[in-house]
């Protein structure tokens, strides 16, 4: 059965859209006031019982106000993201003390601790610790981790041909190239850049993009927004959002607060965990994604390049060169973020580290992320952790 959404009524959908990073700033203040509460009491690890074959959208027809035109919204998935149930992690006192050390490092450098989120998962011990894990932040290029997974989801479901995307995948993940990213988002969502169009055309376009979020949200990735591209996009000569891409940022209930991509350190840590443990999409797909995320620290990564350097000023910069590192980083003038799967050559250390820091002081500081990663790497797995059950649904 088709559902008709009248032109001009999309704001009702956007009313429930994910809030911008500006709202996240307010959330941080609330969380910081809550620091006396035991972390498990204010954060639960969400999973879902939604069936794998859930249809993400009914058949939708968007009508023009005069009723003369109907635009079909194409469903872009056969089923949701496949991982929905989380492991029975324990909350580790040892890992919690390491996060306390990272917070102290930030404080010593004069960085605002309240603007930072940290998640640390020890794969060998099945343990976790975190600080403000659920706070939504603008993720910058860390969103490309999810776009990569979504693309492999389309390969797995037979919706796109993997052979057609090898070059843009490598550019997006390894060099954080925005041209390649734009191509991939268009392919996944069956949309393209539109400078203008009718209300019905915009509504259909918007609903196509929203299916990116739905793919993950039905697997427990709540409050995630990855519908917007990263800029600039030189190939189409666009420096910032415009046309439909700008229109989708507008919230009539808060016109001065643009809707932007948002993600938490927990979202990123969970996804990297699922890739590292070969659960994301399928084992073979996870292996391929890991290889795209691999950062070779034995190479001369200090060499100046004309593209984003995922090691310099990030976790890998101070790690031993033999360290096995898979990572995705993001940087803007207003923040620095990274998630990584890090392992020692002998396998005695295997862990996920996610740090999101949404403040210009972190963007400008080039030493904190490397020293924080080095601090944890030297200490994690050196003793049997004291653990207590982690709160879960």
What DSSP letter does each residue of 68-114 carry, written as one string? S-EEEEPP--SS--S--PPP--EEEHHHHHHHHHHHHHHHHTT--GG
3-state helix, strand, coil in the chain (%, to 5): 40, 15, 45
Which pTM value belongs to this model? 0.85
What is d(CA 266, CA 31) in angstroms, rounded to the nearest whole number? 15
Strand partners, 324: 343
Which of the pair, 7 or 379, is modelled with greater confidence? 379
Domains of the chain: 3-389 (3.40.710.10)
Q: What mean pLDDT is predicted for residues 49-56?
A: 60
Q: How many H-runs (helices) and E-runs (strands) does the chain carry?
A: 13, 11
pLDDT of residue 71: 72
What is d(CA 272, CA 341) in angstroms, rounded to the nearest whole number? 7
pLDDT of residue 39: 42
Give the pLDDT confidence of 88-146 residue by residue, as tens digits: 899 999 999 999 999 999 999 999 999 999 999 999 999 999 999 999 999 999 999 99
- Choice among 240-249, 340-349, 375-384 with the minimum mean pLDDT: 375-384
What is d(CA 117, CA 135) in angstroms, rounded to the nearest whole number? 7
Closest CA to 268 of 339, 359, 176: 339
Which of the pair, 58 or 313, is modelled with greater confidence? 313
pLDDT of residue 56: 57
Burial of 126 (0-12, 13-18, 19+ CB in 10 A): middle
Q: What percent of the chain has pLDDT over 90?
A: 61
- Choice among 24-33, 72-81, 270-279 with the minimum mean pLDDT: 24-33
- Mean pLDDT score across all residues of the chain: 83
Please name the residues in contact with 114: beta carbons below 8 A apart, sequence gap of 6 or more.
28, 29, 31, 32, 132
pLDDT band (50, 70, 90) for residue 40: very low
Give the pLDDT confidence of 139-193 residue by residue, as tens digits: 999 999 999 999 999 999 999 999 999 999 999 999 999 999 999 999 999 999 9
pLDDT of residue 45: 66
pLDDT of residue 340: 98
- Choice among 46-50, 74-78, 302-306, 315-319 with the minimum mean pLDDT: 46-50
Q: What mean pLDDT is predicted for residues 71-81?
A: 85
Give the pLDDT confidence of 197-251 residue by residue, as tens digits: 888 888 889 999 999 999 999 899 999 999 999 999 988 888 898 889 899 888 8
pLDDT at 42 over 50: no
What is d(CA 46, CA 30) in angstroms, rounded to the nearest whole number? 21
pLDDT of residue 35: 35
């Amino acid at each position: 059965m088709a559902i008709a959404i009248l032109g001009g009524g999309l704001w009702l959908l956007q009313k429930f859209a994910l809030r911008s990073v500006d709202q996240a700033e307010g959330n941080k203040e609330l969380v910081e006031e809550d620091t006396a509460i035991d972390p498990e009491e204010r954060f639960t690890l969400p999973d879902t019982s939604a069936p794998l074959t859930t249809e993400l959208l009914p058949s939708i027809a968007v009508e023009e106000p005069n009723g003369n035109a109907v635009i079909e919204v194409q469903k872009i998935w056969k089923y949701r993201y496949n991982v929905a149930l989380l492991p029975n992690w324990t909350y580790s006192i040892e890992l919690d003390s390491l996060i306390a050390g990272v917070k102290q490092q930030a404080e010593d450098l004069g960085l605002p601790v309240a603007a930072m989120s940290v998640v640390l998962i020890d794969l060998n011990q099945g343990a976790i610790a975190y600080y403000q894990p659920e706070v939504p932040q603008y993720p910058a290029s860390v969103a490309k981790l999810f776009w990569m997974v979504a693309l492999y989801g389309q390969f797995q479901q037979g919706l796109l041909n993997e052979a057609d995307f090898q070059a843009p995948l490598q550019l997006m993940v390894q060099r954080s190239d925005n041209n390649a990213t734009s191509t991939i988002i268009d392919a996944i969502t069956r949309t393209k850049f539109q400078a203008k169009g009718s209300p019905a055309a915009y509504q259909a376009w918007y609903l196509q993009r929203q299916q990116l979020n739905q793919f993950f949200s039905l697997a427990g990735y709540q409050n995630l927004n990855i519908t917007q591209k990263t800029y600039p996009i030189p190939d189409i000569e666009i420096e910032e959002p415009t046309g439909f891409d700008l229109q989708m940022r507008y919230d009539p209930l808060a016109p001065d607060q643009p809707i932007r991509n948002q993600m938490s350190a927990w979202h990123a840590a969970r996804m990297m965990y699922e890739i590292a443990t070969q659960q994301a999409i399928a084992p073979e797909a996870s292996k391929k994604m890991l290889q795209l995320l691999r950062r070779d620290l034995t190479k001369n990564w200090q060499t100046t390049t004309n593209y984003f350097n995922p090691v310099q000023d990030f976790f890998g910069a101070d790690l031993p060169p033999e360290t096995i590192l898979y990572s995705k980083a993001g940087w803007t003038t207003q923040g620095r973020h990274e998630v990584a799967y890090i392992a020692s050559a002998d396998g005695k250390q295997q862990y996920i580290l996610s740090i999101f820091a949404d403040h210009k002081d972190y963007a400008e500081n080039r030493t904190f992320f490397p020293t924080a990663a080095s601090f944890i790497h030297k200490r994690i797995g050196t003793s049997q952790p004291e653990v207590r059950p982690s709160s879960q649904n």
